[in-house]
């Protein structure tokens, strides 16, 4: 008697080509049934329907999590920023000359890092997350602590606000705080512990994260060569190429990574392909082309901001807020591209403000 081919039996789901009553070995039959079930399950696991269609299957849900948000109030945003400023002042009330001069020894450096973490990093993280509902109470408490320690020390002075390098030290502190808050908010916004009111607004409103791009543009403005009245030996296009090349590389790297990983992108923020680094690069190029002296940059910045606001009022806002997008580059990235018309105004205004502040300080002396 010819034994049946086990592979034919496995391929038949109901054993239509095989009569189980004619099999004398029951163990052989059970083994064939087990092989059949295993083969069927393995075939189903290898089917294309079982694989996810995207590397990020929750992409749509993640985009909805950061979309259509109304924001908070200007008063609450001011309270948050005042908390950070008070924490910075409290940090300097506990510092000494040995800790401030952290470059002398490893021990001083570690002590400075520990103070920064205790007085800046950890409290800011708590205020922006679990203590968000008590932001005003935290501000009042920090203010009372600052007054108390000032009265205890009697003579209160900030080392970084004394001497000829006072302006440079203050700007450095502002840059550090801006970078820290930006990194904290970007990492925390995808979690539920971060209040939705602090995330970027969809259309109109004010929130903490709405200050991000403007803060970086202002930070770059007060440290630019124009604001410091430093003339570059290079031509404007060489200077622009040198300053924008890292930003463009970062922008294209982020674009390639988001497309390859199918990462969630809030299209209403910058557009389909635009991002934060392209905006900074565009502002740097435009301000390099139109090199205005520091004493006149504030006036030009005010004119640009007023003109752009008039443009928005007269119909540009309808185009920018609409969900309709064409196939061209401008329509697909209208939010990011049209922001290049207003961000240089903020940059000029920041440079002019620094020049005015320095002139006023010199006149007071």
Tell me: the pLDDT tens digits for 23-44?
444 555 555 565 555 445 434 4
Output the pTM of the full model: 0.72
Alpha-helical runs (H) found in the chain = 6-11, 26-45, 59-65, 74-93, 97-100, 106-116, 122-127, 135-153, 166-188, 212-222, 236-261, 267-270, 276-289, 294-311, 317-321, 329-332, 334-338, 343-364
Of residues 199 and 65, more confidence is placed in: 199
Looking at residues 118-144, what average pLDDT do you find? 93
**pLDDT score, position 159:** 47
Q: Is the pLDDT of residue 208 over 60?
A: yes
What does the pLDDT look like over 46-62, one tens digit per residue? 333 433 455 566 777 77
Neighbours of 145 (CB within 10 A): 15
Give the residue among 166, 298, 280 at the shortest CA–CA distance from 219: 280
**pLDDT score, position 22:** 46
Contacts of residue 110, defined as CB under 8 A and 6 or more positions apart, other chains included, come to none
| Reported confidence tier of residue 154, pLDDT bands at 50, 70, 90 | low
Q: How far apart are CA 99 and CA 239, in angstroms?
A: 37
Indicate the SS3 state at residue 232. Answer: coil
In angstroms, the first-to-last Cα distance of the chain is 115
What does the pLDDT look like over 256-288, one tens digit per residue? 998 888 777 788 888 888 998 999 999 988 888
Q: Is the pLDDT of residue 252 over 80?
A: yes
**pLDDT score, position 322:** 87
| Reported confidence tier of residue 166, pLDDT bands at 50, 70, 90 | low
What does the pLDDT look like over 62-91, one tens digit per residue? 777 777 788 888 999 999 999 999 998 888
Q: Are 296 and 352 in contact (CB under 8 A)?
A: yes
Looking at residues 92-119, what average pLDDT do you find? 71
Looking at every residue in the chain, the average pLDDT score rounds to 77
What does the pLDDT look like over 287-321, one tens digit per residue? 888 878 777 888 888 999 999 999 999 989 899 88
């Amino acid at each position: 008697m010819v034994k049946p081919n086990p592979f034919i039996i496995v391929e038949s789901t109901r054993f239509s080509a095989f009569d189980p009553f004619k099999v004398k070995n029951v163990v052989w039959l059970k083994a064939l049934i087990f092989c059949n079930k295993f083969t069927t399950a393995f075939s189903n696991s290898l089917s294309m329907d079982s694989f996810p269609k995207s590397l990020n299957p929750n992409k749509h849900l993640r985009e909805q999590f950061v979309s259509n948000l109304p924001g908070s109030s200007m008063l609450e945003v001011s309270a948050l920023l005042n908390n950070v400023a008070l924490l910075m002042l409290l940090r300097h009330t506990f510092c000494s000359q040995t800790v401030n001069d952290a470059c002398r020894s490893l021990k001083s450096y570690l002590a400075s890092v520990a103070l920064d973490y205790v007085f800046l990093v950890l409290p800011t993280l708590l205020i922006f997350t679990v203590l968000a509902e008590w932001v005003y109470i935290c501000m009042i408490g920090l203010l009372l602590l600052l007054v108390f320690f000032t009265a205890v020390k009697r003579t209160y002075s900030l080392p970084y606000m004394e001497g000829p390098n006072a302006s440079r030290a203050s700007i450095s502190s502002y840059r550090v705080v801006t970078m820290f808050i930006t990194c904290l908010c970007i990492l925390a916004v995808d979690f539920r512990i971060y209040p939705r009111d602090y995330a970027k607004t969809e259309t109109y409103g004010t929130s903490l994260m709405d200050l991000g791009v403007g803060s970086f543009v202002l930070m770059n403005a007060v440290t630019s060569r124009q604001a410091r009245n430093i003339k570059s030996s290079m031509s404007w296009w060489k200077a622009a190429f040198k300053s924008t090349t890292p930003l463009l590389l970062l922008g294209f790297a982020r674009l390639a990574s988001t497309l390859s990983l199918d990462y969630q992108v809030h299209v209403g923020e910058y557009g389909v392909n635009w991002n934060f680094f392209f905006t900074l690069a565009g502002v740097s190029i435009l301000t390099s082309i139109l090199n205005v002296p520091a004493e006149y940059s504030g006036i030009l910045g005010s004119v640009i901001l007023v003109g752009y606001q008039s443009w928005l009022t007269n119909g540009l806002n309808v185009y920018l807020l609409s969900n309709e997008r064409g196939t061209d580059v401008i329509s697909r990235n209208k939010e990011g591209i049209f922001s290049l018309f207003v961000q240089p105004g903020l940059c000029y205004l920041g440079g002019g403000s620094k020049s005015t502040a320095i002139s006023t300080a010199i006149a007071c002396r």
